[in-house]
Amino acid sequence: DQQVKQNSPSLSVQEGRISILNCDYTNSMFDYFLWYKKYPAEGPTFLISISSIKDKNEDGRFTVFLNKSAKHLSLHIVPSQPGDSAVYFCAATPGGGDGLTFGKGTHLIIQP
């Protein structure tokens, strides 16, 4: 059973526009959510996170929204830049230093 789902394997967005990546989860024990960005042949790098006590967290061009009742979170990138082309992984954890549960990733392609 997949506890963290990213239903779009890929997403293509024009440079300068908004990119919206979606993630759904099923485990109500998840308390902390993170987004990672991964370039080919490199390890994932941490991008932004949100605690379940919040519904929004913003860091520069990146904003993560959390809807706990719908068990849904999304990552907004505004404006999208060519360097944003990468695979984005959504991850969740109950907290306490346990391993993260990852989604399968969404490949974001920014078109010029």
Partner 1 sequence: DVKVTQSSRYLVKRTGEKVFLECVQDMDHENMFWYRQDPGLGLRLIYFSYDVKMKEKGDIPEGYSVSREKKERFSLILESASTNQTSMYLCATTGGLSSGNTIYFGEGSWLTVV
Site string for partner 1, 26-45 (x = CB under 8 A): ------x-x-x-x--xxxxx
19 or 44, CB closer to partner 1?
44
Binding flag, residue 60, partner 1 (CB under 8 A): no
Residues 6+ apart with CB under 8 A from 28: 71
Task: Provide the token pair at 22.
Answer: 């979606």
For residues 28 and 45, give the distance between their C-alpha atoms in angstroms, rounded to a whole number: 25
For residues 64 and 77, give the distance between their C-alpha atoms in angstroms, rounded to a whole number: 9
Bridge partners of 30, per DSSP, are none
What is the pairing mode between strands 32-38 and 45-51? Answer: antiparallel
62 or 79, CB closer to partner 1?
62
Binding flag, residue 46, partner 1 (CB under 8 A): yes
Site string for partner 1, 85-104 (x = CB under 8 A): ----x-x-x-xxx-xxxxxx
**Where does this chain bind partner 1 (CB under 8 A)?**
6, 9, 32, 34, 36, 38, 41-46, 49, 89, 91, 93, 95-97, 99-105
